Amino acid sequence: MTVRDTWNPAQYERFRTEREQPFHDLVALITRRPAGRVVDLGCGTGVLTAMLHHQLGAAATLGVDSSSSMLDRARPLEAPGLSFVPGDIATWGPDSPFDLVFSNAALQWVADHRSLFARLTAMLAPGGELAVQVPANFDHVSHTLAAEIAREEPFAAAMHGYARTFSVLPPEEYASLLHGLGFVAQSVRLQVYGHVLESPDAVVEWVRGTLLTDYESRLPGPLYQAFVARYRERLHAALGDQRPYFYPFKRILLWGRLPV
Ligand SMILES: C[S@@+](CC[C@H](N)C(=O)[O-])C[C@H]1O[C@@H](n2cnc3c(N)ncnc32)[C@H](O)[C@@H]1O
């Protein structure tokens, strides 16, 4: 099956304010300033990578992303000490270690977090820090509905039975994982971000910028439009016409530091 790059920076940034708060909360957990050598995995448009670079006074920050449309937006932000490269987090590895491995809202796209976190830890220098934020909203109707529709026809046949599964672990498992990987200090928390949106329709626009890009990349254009139409109809049936609509969004913020 062909998987296209369907990340759309403009669609993603429609909810920029809402998406930025978890980033700021994650940055607040980082203790080393200036931060030294930093990597931002799944850097997207690079806007937050540049902010991270400046806020931490980092010596060098590298943004890594697998989407060429996102990287096209990020590259103009390059500056001394700030650069962006293409790479798949599942396989990408650095030439030399980092003092901070950072990732905001990206690792949920990567499988098997136990082995992934072992690889991320191996990227760190002694005393290095890991800071990760992942959504944990997979039991909300905005997410369960997408998987439900993916299993219905004609979408199931077109995607050969594919439905997105999520690799995000419960918070306590990340805490145990960090301990097992040798982190001597850590913070892991689940936080609910409440977003007051105009109506349930805004939720459709929200997931079109993230979750649904996965189905968009696997379906021909007209079929993807039909997928979104069915999603919209069912979401309305589930949520009613609430105006404004309060969208509670769970996220896990985790941080750990290795011994020196
Ligand atoms: C929700 S966006 C977050 C972007 C940015 N970190 C932010 O907070 O604005 C997720 C990003 O992860 C990238 N991504 C998803 N899977 C990836 C992978 N396996 N390797 C590298 N990047 C990936 C996508 O291309 C996208 O830019």
The confidence score (pLDDT) of residue 55 equals: 97
Question: Which of 43, 73, 210 has most ligand 1 atoms within 8 Å of CB, for mutation?
Answer: 43
Q: Is 104 in the pocket of ligand 1 (CB under 6 A)?
A: yes
Q: Is 216 in the pocket of ligand 1 (CB under 6 A)?
A: no
pLDDT level of residue 12 (50, 70, 90 thresholds): low
The confidence score (pLDDT) of residue 209 equals: 87
Q: Determine the Cα angle at 99 with ends 97 and 101, to 5°.
A: 85
8 pLDDT above the threshold of 80: no
19 pLDDT above the threshold of 90: no
Q: Determine the Cα angle at 237 with ends 213 and 217, to 5°.
A: 10
- Ligand 1 centroid to residue 101 C-alpha, Å: 14
- Ligand 1 centroid to residue 206 C-alpha, Å: 15
**Neighbouring-strand partners of residue 189:** 253
pLDDT level of residue 118 (50, 70, 90 thresholds): very high
173-224: pLDDT as tens digits:
999 999 999 999 999 999 999 999 999 999 999 999 889 999 999 999 999 9
State the Cα–Cα distance between residues 180 and 242, nearest whole angstrom. 45
Distances (CA, A) of 232 to 208, 227, 242: 11, 9, 14
Distances (CA, A) of 234 to 113, 209, 222: 31, 18, 19
- Ligand 1 centroid to residue 106 C-alpha, Å: 4
146-179: pLDDT as tens digits:
999 999 999 999 999 999 888 999 999 999 999 9
Ligand 1 atom nearest to CA at 23: 8
Q: Determine the Cα angle at 170 with ends 164 and 174, to 5°.
A: 110
Q: Is 46 in the pocket of ligand 1 (CB under 6 A)?
A: no
Q: Is 8 in the pocket of ligand 1 (CB under 6 A)?
A: no
- Ligand 1 centroid to residue 65 C-alpha, Å: 6
